[in-house]
Amino acid sequence: MILQKIDDINEYKRMFKQKFTKVLMEYVDFRLFLYEVFLQKHTAYVVGGFLRDIVLGVNSRDLDMILGISPEVLDDLLSKSKLIYKRNRLGGAKIIFNDFDIDIWSIDSNWGFRNNLIKRNEQKIVDNIAAGAFYNFDSLVINVLSLEVSTKYFNNCVEENELDILRKNINYKKNNPTIEANILRAFYLKNKYNLNLSKNCSDYLIRRIKFLKDNNEYAINKLLEIKRKYPKYDDELLDDTLIHQVLSLLKEDRDTNSGEVQVKLNF
């Protein structure tokens, strides 16, 4: 599948509005829930795959959204709605329909903001949210009300044909709560879109995989276990054999100058 950068912002906004309006018309209870958010003078931001699918011209199976409300207000609005939902990863909620899922989070629950690892400026909040995406590939963000959109990191991914980690802060990478999922996602995106890995990304993967090997005798089983929790990764683009092959290619070399262990990942 070939990625394309977003050149015409106005056309992109038009396409988003058309696609998002269709979701609101089809899922009435979600529309009413979102109206309550807006009536309380809060906003909402669509992030990630739903926006990328517009570029790719494919149908979306789900929608990810960050709401400008506190976790407490989110819980209150959900409890008063007619929506069927359950808790999702990282403290949000998954709204469940027969053929479509909507994952929502409070902006205050964002891991980067909560731990002061990402600057939060309300005047530049769309760019702030985009900069908080782990990979540049996942950094598309749009404000549902104003249609302000951030495309620069995604466009850089496409132009450079390179998967990169946006935050260079070592604490952000080291303490990120979804390390195993990040590893799997890099494998998946590299294979699906033929992306190169930036040095920053390669170094991260090498170090985190080596950490798994050093701290878990069955590191590969841990990765396979995590993979089962993400159905979109459980296909031919990321089969168990590939993971075995990738991990088997880890080789340790001793840097004669620094004495640090250098690990090479060739795939």
Per-residue pLDDT in tens (0 to 9) along the chain, 267 residues? 778 999 999 999 999 999 999 999 999 999 999 999 999 999 999 999 999 999 999 999 999 999 999 999 999 999 999 999 999 877 799 999 999 999 999 999 887 788 777 888 888 999 999 998 999 999 999 999 999 999 999 999 999 999 999 988 777 777 777 777 888 888 889 888 999 999 888 888 878 877 776 665 566 677 777 777 776 665 555 665 655 555 554 444 333 334 343 444 444
Within 13 Å and on the Cβ side, how many CA atoms surround 161?
8
Specify the pLDDT at position 255.
Answer: 39
Residue whose structure tokens are 């991914």: 157
CB atoms within 10 A of CB 129: 23
The predicted pLDDT at position 258 comes to 40
CA torsion 50-54-59-60 (nearest 10°) is: 0
Domain with CATH 3.30.460.10 in the chain: 9-161
Tell me the pTM: 0.85
Count of residues making up the chain: 267
Q: Which residues pair with 150 in a beta bridge?
A: 141
Q: Please tell me the predicted confidence (pLDDT) of residue 236.
A: 55
pLDDT at 259: 39
- Taking phi first (over 0 means left), then psi (-120 to 50 degrees means alpha), and beta for anything else, what does residue 240 get? alpha
Query: Closest by alpha carbon to 117, among 76, 79, 68, 166?
Result: 166
- Find out whether 223 and 243 touch, Cβ atoms under 8 Å: yes
**Closest by alpha carbon to 62, among 24, 107, 99?**
99
CATH topology of domain 9-161: Beta Polymerase; domain 2 (3.30.460)
pLDDT of residue 249: 47
In the chain the beta strands, taken as DSSP E runs, fall at: 44-47, 62-67, 85-87, 93-96, 101-106, 141-143, 149-150, 162-163, 196-197, 251-254, 261-264
